[in-house]
Amino acid sequence: MRFRDKRVLNGLDIVIEDNKATVIMGRSGIGKSVLLKCICGLLAPHKGVIDIDGHNIVTASPRQAKVIRSAIGMLLQEGALFDGMTVYENIAFPLTYHRKHSPAEIDREVRRYADIVEMTPFLDVVPRELSGGMKRKAAIARCMITQPRYLFYDEPTTGLDPISAGTVDTMIKKLSDTVKITSLIVTHDVDLALFAGDTVALIEDGRISAIEARAEFKRPESELRTRFIEQREILHEEYHANRK
């Protein structure tokens, strides 16, 4: 995958396990979110295969791609709730938009998923009155209400204070443990990866350079964690050098 002369993803190869949480790590701007958008069919890579349930979304027809995408829920950065809607209306939106459910069915599903993410007391609240963590939880419920097979998280804890980030970490882990769903989490949050990831992978130079199970990643001598920290240190050095 490239943009003009810049190659972002180059020979990236990874298998996402069913009903597990896979974390993709890497420094900012390295292509993590681009990878999610390619898998969803929102961006078209110049070549390669993205196999989802036996279908290659890269070569799929618009109709086939729509069917494939219907199995995917995606939590966008910062939640992307509709400001003019209440939490209830935001969660209900995917069902009301497609007009395939009765009002009673929509109400039942909204309350079901609001309960799962512990947002029932806030259904009549608008986003501006919510904390950052609460916005993310409401957005997760909106993703879940269509009962996707796959749930993608794009930097779910970015911009949150440590307590709110911990709340979101816990919610992602809870869903991974209690709901049969395959999760793909893009993040540079080591704490989230340690807590919620069954498998952790690192992107470097457009490809997966290291991949470890959670138990390996937790070890102090983890190669992946060491390389990720080195990435951050290089960025810090470049930043300070440019300011001189």
Q: Give residue 156's pLDDT band: very low, low, confident or very high (50, 70, 90).
A: very high
- Give ∠ CA 218-216-48 in degrees, rounded to 5: 115
Q: Give residue 239's pLDDT band: very low, low, confident or very high (50, 70, 90).
A: very low
Q: State pLDDT tens for residues 33-60.
A: 889 888 888 888 888 899 998 899 989 8
The predicted pLDDT at position 155 comes to 92
Q: What is the CATH number of domain 2-71+148-243?
A: 3.40.50.300
The predicted pLDDT at position 130 comes to 94
> For residue 78, how many other CB atoms are within 10 A of its CB?
16
Total H helices, total E strands in the chain: 9, 10
Residue 158: pLDDT over 60: yes
182 to 21, 123, 144, 148, 198: CA distances (angstroms): 6, 27, 12, 9, 11
Q: Over the chain, what is the mean pLDDT?
A: 87
Return the top range by mean pLDDT from 75-84, 101-110, 212-221, 232-241.
101-110
Question: What are the φ and ψ backbone dihedral angles of 46, each rounded to 5 degrees?
Answer: -70, -25
- Non-local (6+) Cβ contacts of 82 within 8 A are 89, 90, 93, 127
Residue 123: pLDDT over 80: yes
Residue 185 · residue 172 · CB < 8 Å = yes
Residue 79: pLDDT over 80: yes
Q: How far is CA 30 from the centre of its chain?
A: 16
The predicted pLDDT at position 27 comes to 80
Cα separation, 36 vs 85, whole angstroms? 27
Average pLDDT over residues 76-85: 89
Percent of the chain with pLDDT over 90: 47
